[in-house]
Amino acid sequence: MYLLILYLPFLSFLNGTLFGRWCGRKGTAIWSCILMGITQLISMFITYEVSFCNSPVYIYMHDWLKVDFLSVKALFTFDTLTALMLLVVTSISFLVHVYSVSYMSGDPHLQRFIGLLSLFTTFMILLTTGSNLLQIFVGWEGVGVVSYLLVNFWYTRAAANRAAMMALLTNRVGDWGYTLGAFCAVSLLGTLDLKVLFGLSPLLHEGVNTVITLLLVIGVMGKSAQLGLHAWLPHAMEGPTPVSALLHAATLVTAGVFLLLRISPVLEYAPLTLTVLTVLGGGTAFLGGSLGLVANDMKRVIAYSTCSQLGYMVYAIGVSAYGLSLYHLVNHAFFKALLFLSAGSVIHALGDEQDLRKMGGLRKVTVFTYVMMLIGSISLMGIPFTTGFYSKEVILAQGAFSATHSAGIGYILCLISAGFTTVYSVRLICNGFFAPSLNSKKRLSEAHEPDALMTIPLGILAVLSLSFGYLSSNLFWGHSSFLSGSLFTLPKTLKTEFWGGGTAALFLTLIATSLALFINLGSVKTVILFLFKNKALYNLLSNRYYFDHLFSNGVTLAVLSLGYITSKELDKGLGEYLGPTGISDGLHKTPEEFKPSLLKDGSPILYGQYLILSILFSIFILLTL
Amino acid sequence: MTLFIMIMLVLTGVYIFGKYGVVQNSKAEALGLTSSLIALIWALFNTIWSYGAQSIILPLGGRSFKGDNGPHGEIEGSERNSLSVEYGSDKGGVDPGLYSGMDIFAVEGGSFLSPTLFDGLTIVFVVLTAIISPIAILASEKKTEMISSLLVVEALLIGAFVTYDFITFYALFESVLIPMFFLIGGKGSGVSIFRIGAAYRLFLYTLAGSVLMLLGLIILYLETGTLNWYLLVLNSLYGPSLGNTGGASGVLTGLWVFPLIFIAFAVKVPMIPVHLWLPEAHTIAPTPGSMILAALLLKLGGYGILRWLLPILPHACEFYMPIVLLFATISTLYACLTCLRQIDVKRIVAYSSIVHMNICIYSIFTLSPLAIKGAIFEMFSHGIISTGMFFLIGVLYNRHDTRVLKYFRGLALQMPIFTLIMFIFILSNSAVPLTCGFIGEFIMLSGSIGAFPFLTLILTLSTVVNAGYNIWLFNRMCFGGYSPYLGNTKDLSRKEFYVLAPLLVYIVILGVCPNFLFMFIDGGALGA
């Protein structure tokens, strides 16, 4: 029963990619949606049994790897953390499957697309159920690879190729950190098993915990697009929109946060890592928020907001509020998937137009999409009593009450970012729906509401974006023992109410909302004049703080030019000169009278004999000395 | 039995060549396939037998060489079989489990080749040889002279892997060059002057190394009076000349001998200053030649180090460890960077072979048991992966007569099955989990990092670049718009698929259930 959750999506993948040709488009769609639906029901059952009935399940299959002292088990963990992640992954995945049947209906490769979405779900489930670092890494790399294929789904487009490769390689840098962390765990502790790691960490020297967790944090930076390794996320929007909704909003990018939550008992004994995480999270939140202000591609705006929300989650982990981080992860998955899917609906309506500046006037044409977008946005902004409000405010409150300096810095950055969130969300709504349309009249007249297969997932997500936060608030904070089995919980849980430290954020949000409304409802020129009088600032933001330049022109070019040195100047140059070509040329150039008689006829095999004889001779002389 | 199999392979090779001459003949192919499959069955039978026999014998014998058994366990073990217990227990750090199981298969002496050895280490390489050879024969398009060379190479390699006489090993190590010389010089691609040049490069580089090895052998023989593996190991443990109890002169001789033998293996691996033969030989060699060269011939270097250096000259290994590690690191990074700038697809795969093999050498010389076992696994998996990669490139070369990357683009549009298989091989080559490439790399590096943390840290940077050139290669070849230089082509033929299918199966099986191989590598998994 429990392992079906792994097998069913995999079956759907096999069906879609291998037998899609025989099943047909409709067959594949129906079959995959049914399988994913069953998967979701199973995950609900698992959540009920594991989380609400408080009975974690561990399924031991066999020894996966047994060599020398290292033994890695194929052991699947189902605890509350896993169950909640599974709930998020399978429900968003199911909705996205249904949505993409309609969204991708014009594509000839629908079967491959559906199959890859299912494969992605499989790997995500593998990741969440892993009980040791290696098993998690299987899912971790797997989602990266499938993400490469999905972003590259329209593989003839050069932009998609570049984006996919950038995503894969940036993640590979993160994986380098992850694997180093795992190597350290093997060499220092002799195990990869997380339970053993948790048991050992209070007894170990702080440095050991710090080294292992800091290296894992590099992996998290890659996967969850944290400051420094974030540049791939906005580019990954080149993929189809359902991919952005499933991978780059709800699940894949939260894998890093999930890893941090999973190793929370170790993190708690590595204070330095926590400090790093607060600054990293705050920085990412600020960076994502500020870049969202100037992005013009609708999907990129949402991508930057994902980046900034991931920053909140990491910040929450940095201040040891693991439950709240998970809470925000779940909430964020719902409203961000809603935002992306409704963005997809807008793009669909406008005939693949993604540029915000060319949108506008859609409020009266596509009312349903407008409402959905609005719900997603207010939830993202954290307007009181929507889903986003409950988690974000509490994270900020927790940050405000934390004592350390780094938490304070992170708090301020997150607070400013909350303001940014509001500004770009309002800008998105205003530009997309209120502003006078800059699009051609033909396009606007052809704009239409999506069909039922697209509206139903949107509706479900909208309901969750409005109500889930309130309904589940008592599970995640306060005195609930809901998560204490799977996450590290501080013995003295701060009983936080939302009128605490979040108040400032709330005020800021409201002020920023009114400000942004004021600005955006004016003409576009005013906005630019008002916000970006300072051209240097605007350039800094629109060049994405020059991170892309650093990576593509700095790092990549440096590596390639090093490669030039080794391949052309050393390999084909010096190596050949001192090696084969040099020797043979030298022999040819030697005047005949200086050549030993052996070499006179110039045959290479004789050179060889000569070489060998001379080496033998010289070594024998050396030995006899 | 080994001798019989070898003679059978050689005779089949000679018969095919003598009967059919230089033609394309399907009967010759069938004959070659049959005899190499017989060798495969023999290898698998031996493998299973040694595994079964061990699991029966060991509980009775009670061999225990694990540290956790305490001092008593070690003493008991040493009474029964002093060899496998003792060495490695001192700070040489060589794991005895690797060489376990040999007492079962130590056939009595007599003829020249009959002393054979069938321990965990041998099993891996013999099985690799036996599974790659039929695939290479199948890939050789029924060309008789190629098939006969391949059969001879297989026979010689099996001999080199099973023998425990150093001079026999040397002779076989050398004689592999002769059929390879004909394979590359005779059947390679391009103008004959390039072919001959590449063949000479392979020949002369290896020969130059081997001469030094011969010298090392002579010194070793003069010092110890034997070239038998058992006796040499015993000598390194207890003997006065090379071992830990030896005087200054003995240790000094070890220090003399080590570089001489090591250079021969380093040429074969190849490590950086002596690697220039490999890209040339690979580019010029015909597809089956490249497959054999990458999958098996490079492994002779790694195998040689594991068999003839680590146990015999443990102190010299320790003495030279830092410099070897340094060279291996430089080689790995150098080959990684060079790989990025190649435009010949075969050269890319050739340099990636250098990368993988040098990581193996690095791990072996950290002398950590875990890393050594990982390195053996990695060599096996690299054999499979590089075979497949070279074959895929051969498929393209057959269709388009070019290997230059710039001409290929958008192959996914015309060859979807090719693209899918290429993708799996690329993933495996860049060490993605659930493929065999990952397991080897992970185990190797997790074993090595304890020995030299910072050097390993630098070495692991290669994994990032590794993924870079692999995925870049794939992206440039298979994705994008269809190249205007290529006409319409067919996807993989049925026969080509049959060549690739077993390799895919090995990749996935070893990636998902690595224990199938680790069971043999890790003697401890069976006995203790």
Q: Does residue B521 sit at the A interface (CB-CB below 8 Å)?
A: yes
pLDDT at B78: 35
Q: Which of residues 516-575 of A touch B (CB under 8 A)?
A: 559-560, 562-568, 570-571, 575
Q: In whole angstroms, what is the distance from residue A461 CA to residue B96 CA?
A: 60
Q: What is the pLDDT of residue A608?
A: 63
Phi-psi region of A533 (alpha: psi -120 to 50; beta: other; left: phi over 0): alpha
- Give the minimum alpha-carbon distance from A116 to chain B in angstroms, rounded to a whole number: 13
Q: How far is B214 from chain A (nearest CA, A)?
A: 10
Q: What is the pLDDT of residues A476-495, one digit of tens each?
A: 876 667 777 777 776 555 55
Contact B36, B153 (CB under 8 A): no
Contact yes or no for B374 and A67 at CB 8 A: yes
Q: Is residue A603 very low, low, confident or very high in pLDDT (cuts 50, 70, 90)?
A: low
Helical ranges in B117-191 per DSSP H: 120-138, 144-162, 166-175, 177-187
CA B300 to chain centre: 6
Q: Are B125 and B299 in contact, with CB atoms under 8 Å apart?
A: yes
A-interface mutation test, from B252, B257, B338, most A Cβ less than 10 A away: B338
State the Cα–Cα distance between residues B438 and B461, nearest whole angstrom: 15
- Give contacts of B215 with chain A, Cβ < 8 Å: 616, 619-620
- The answer, yes or no, to whether residue A210 has pLDDT greater than 90, is yes
Smallest CA–CA distance from B474 into chain A, residue: A165
Q: Can you tell me the mean pLDDT for B379-398?
A: 94
Q: Does the N-terminal peptide bond of residue A202 adopt cis geometry, omega within 30 degrees of 0? A: no
Q: What is the residue whose two structure tokens read 């098996």?
A: B296
Cα(A480)–Cα(A493) distance, integer angstroms: 10
Which residues, 6+ apart, have CB-to-CB distance to B75 below 8 Å? Answer: none
- pLDDT band with cut points at 50, 70 and 90 for residue B42: confident
Q: Could you give the CA distance from residue B440 to residue B514 in angstroms, rounded to a whole number?
A: 9
Of the ranges A59-63, B119-123, B249-253, which one carries the lowest mean pLDDT score?
B249-253
The larger pLDDT score, comparing residue A379 to residue B527, is at: A379
Mean pLDDT for B85-95 is: 39
- State the pLDDT confidence band at A214, using cuts at 50, 70 and 90: very high
Cα Rg of chain B (Å, integer): 22
Q: Rounded to a whole number, what is the distance in Å from the CA of A582 to chain B's nearest CA? A: 12
The CA distance from A411 to B387, in Å, is 55
pLDDT by residue (tens digit) across A550-565?
888 888 899 999 999 8
Contacts of A180 in chain B (CB under 8 A): 449, 457, 460
8 Å CB contact between A379 and A386: yes
**Which whole number is the average pLDDT over A47-59?**
90
For residues A146-171, one letter each, b for 16 or more C-beta atoms within 10 angstroms of the residue's C-beta and e for the rest, the string is bbbbbbbbebebeebbbbbbbbbbbb
CA distance A84 to A332: 13
Q: Would the CB atoms of B413 and A156 count as touching at under 8 Å? A: yes
Question: Sorting pLDDT into bands at 50, 70 and 90, what band is A520?
Answer: low
Placement of tokens 């089949």 in the chain: B12
pLDDT at B103: 40
Average pLDDT over residues A581-586: 79
State which residue of chain A sits closest to B65, comparing Cα positions: A68
**Helices and strands: H and E segment counts in chain A:** 28, 2
* Pairwise CB contact (< 8 Å): A68 & B95: yes
Rounded distance between C-alpha atoms, residue A489 and residue A481, angstroms = 9
CB within 8 Å of B454: residues ≥ 6 apart: none
The three-state DSSP-derived secondary structure of A88-140 is HHHHHHHHHHHHHHHHCCCCCCHHHHHHHHHHHHHHHHHHHHECEHHHHHHHH
Question: Pick the residue with more confidence: A244 or A436?
Answer: A244
- CA atoms lying within 13 Å on the CB side of residue B245: 8
How far is it, in rounded angstroms, from Cα A228 to Cα A222?
8
State both tokens at B129.
Answer: 């040889």
A-proximal residues of B, 17-76, CB under 8 Å: none
Q: B523: which 2 tokens?
A: 């003697």
User: Is residue A618 very low, low, confident or very high in pLDDT (cuts 50, 70, 90)?
Assistant: low
A69 — contact with chain B (CB < 8 Å)?
yes
Q: Nearest 5°: CA angle at B226, between B222 and B232?
A: 110
Identify the pLDDT of residue B246. Answer: 46
Nearest 5 degrees, angle CA A247-CA A182-CA A559?
70
pLDDT score recorded for residue A518: 64
- Residue A401 has a pLDDT of 76
pLDDT of residue B365: 92
Tell me which residue has tokens 């050398």.
B174
DSSP H helices, B225-313, are 229-238, 248-268, 277-284, 287-292, 298-304
User: Using CB atoms within 10 A of its CB, is residue A457 exposed (0-12), middle (13-18) or buried (19+)?
Assistant: buried
Residue of B nearest to A138 (CA): B433
For chain B, percent helix, then strand, then coil, each to nearest 5? 75, 0, 20
- Cα(B298)–Cα(B266) distance, integer angstroms: 10
> Taking residues B442-463, what's their average pLDDT?
91
Structure tokens at B361: 């050498």
> Are B113 and B156 within 8 A, CB to CB?
no
| B294-313: pLDDT as tens digits | 999 999 999 999 888 888 88
Does residue A422 or residue A164 have the better pLDDT?
A164
To the nearest 10°, the Cα dihedral for B270, B275, B279, B280?
-120
Measured between beta carbons, the chain B residues lying within 8 angstroms of A570 are 334
- Lowest mean pLDDT, pick from A479-488, B40-49, B165-174: A479-488
DSSP letter (8 states) at residue A575 = I
What letter does residue A546 receive in the DSSP assignment? G
Residue A514, φ and ψ in degrees, nearest 5:
-65, -40
| Chain A nearest C-alpha distance from B1 (Å) | 31
User: Is it the case that residue B71 has pLDDT exceeding 60?
Assistant: no
List the Cα angle B291/B131/A74 in 5-degree steps: 105
For the ranges A336-345, A385-394, A480-489, B461-470, the lowest mean pLDDT is seen at A480-489
Amino acid code (one letter) for A411:
Y
Query: Are B433 and A616 within 8 A, CB to CB?
Result: no
- Kindly report the average pLDDT of chain A as a whole number: 85
Mutate to test the interface with A, among B174, B348, B432, B455 (most CBs of A within 10 A): B432
| Å between B524 CA and nearest CA of chain A | 7
Residue A77, phi then psi, degrees to nearest 5? -100, 135
At residue B143, what are phi and psi to the nearest 5 degrees? Answer: -80, 120
Which pLDDT does position A115 carry in this prediction?
Answer: 93
Q: Is A61 exposed, middle or buried (0-12, 13-18, 19+ CB in 10 A)?
A: exposed
**Confidence class of residue B251 from pLDDT cuts 50, 70 and 90?**
low
pLDDT on residue B523? 58
pLDDT of B97 > 50? The answer is no
Cβ of residue A63 closer than 8 Å to a chain B Cβ: yes
Q: Do A611 and B427 touch (CB under 8 A)?
A: no
Report for A44-58, A418-432, A486-500: range of highest mean pLDDT: A44-58
Q: Is the pLDDT of residue B136 over 60?
A: yes
Question: What's the gap between Cα B401 and its chain centre?
Answer: 29
A602 touches chain B (CB under 8 A): no
- Greater model confidence, B265 or A347: B265
Chain B positions touching A607 (Cβ under 8 A) are 204
A42 pLDDT band (50/70/90 cuts)? Answer: very high
CA distances from B232 to A184, B83, B213, B218, B242 (A): 36, 11, 16, 13, 9
Residue in the block written with tokens 């217990």: B85
Q: Hey, are the CB atoms on A612 and B467 less than 8 Å from each other?
A: no
Supply φ then ψ for residue B400, to 5 degrees: -120, -5
Q: Which of B95, B201, B212 sits opposite A580 (nearest CB)?
A: B201
Count of CB atoms situated within 10 Å of the CB of A44? 15
**Average model confidence (pLDDT) for chain B?**
81
Q: What is the ipTM of this complex?
A: 0.91
For the ranges A128-132, A500-504, A513-517, B144-148, the one whose mean pLDDT is highest? A128-132
B449 and chain A in contact, CB less than 8 A: yes
Chain-chain contact of A562 with B276 (C-beta, under 8 angstroms): no
Q: Which residues contact A536 (CB under 8 A, 6 or more apart)?
A: none
Under a CB-based contact definition with an 8 Å cutoff, are residues A39 and A3 in contact? no
CA distance A382 to chain B (A): 39
Q: Picking from A436-445, B2-11, B429-438, which range would have the lowest pLDDT averaged per residue?
A: A436-445
Q: What is the pLDDT of residue A570?
A: 87
The verdict on B467 touching A (C-beta cutoff 8 Å) is: yes
The CA-to-CA distance between both ends of chain B, in Å, stands at 29
CB contact under 8 A, A64 and B342: no
Whole-number Å distance between alpha carbons of A348 and B4:
71
What is the mean predicted confidence (pLDDT) over A335-350? 90
How many CA atoms lie less than 13 Å away from B220 in the CB half-sphere?
A: 31
Assess A605–B contact: CB distance below 8 Å, yes or no. yes
Least confident of A386-390, A543-547, B191-195: B191-195
Q: Other C-beta atoms within 10 Å of B175: how many?
A: 16
- pLDDT the model gives residue A180: 94
Q: How far is B472 from chain A (nearest CA, A)?
A: 7
Do the bridges between strand A70-78 and strand A57-67 make them parallel or antiparallel, or are there none, so unpaired? antiparallel
Task: Name the minimum distance, in Å, from the CA of B432 to any CA of chain A.
Answer: 7
| Percentage of chain A exceeding pLDDT 90 | 43
Q: Which two tokens stand for residue A331?
A: 């909430």
Cα angle value B240/B244/B248 (rounded, 5°) = 65
Alpha-carbon distance of A184 to B379, in angstroms, equals 23
Which residues 165-194 on chain A approach chain B with CB closer than 8 angstroms?
165, 168-169, 172-173, 175-176, 179-180, 182-184, 186-188
Confidence of residue B99 (pLDDT cuts 50, 70, 90): low
Other C-beta atoms lying within 10 Å of the C-beta of residue B466 = 25
Closest CA to A81 of A390, A524, A586, A487: A487
Closest alpha carbon to B230 in B304, B163, B159: B163
- For residue A592, name the pLDDT band (cuts at 50, 70, 90): low
The answer for B 178-237 residues in CB contact with A (under 8 A) is 196, 200-201, 203-204, 207-208, 211-212, 215, 219
How many angstroms separate the CA atoms of A327 and A340, rounded? 20
Q: Please count the residue pairs, one from chain A and one from chain B, whose beta carbons lie less than 8 angstroms apart.
A: 169
Q: Please, what sign has the CA dihedral across residues B479, B485, B487, B490?
A: negative
pLDDT tens column, A506-518: 677 777 777 766 6
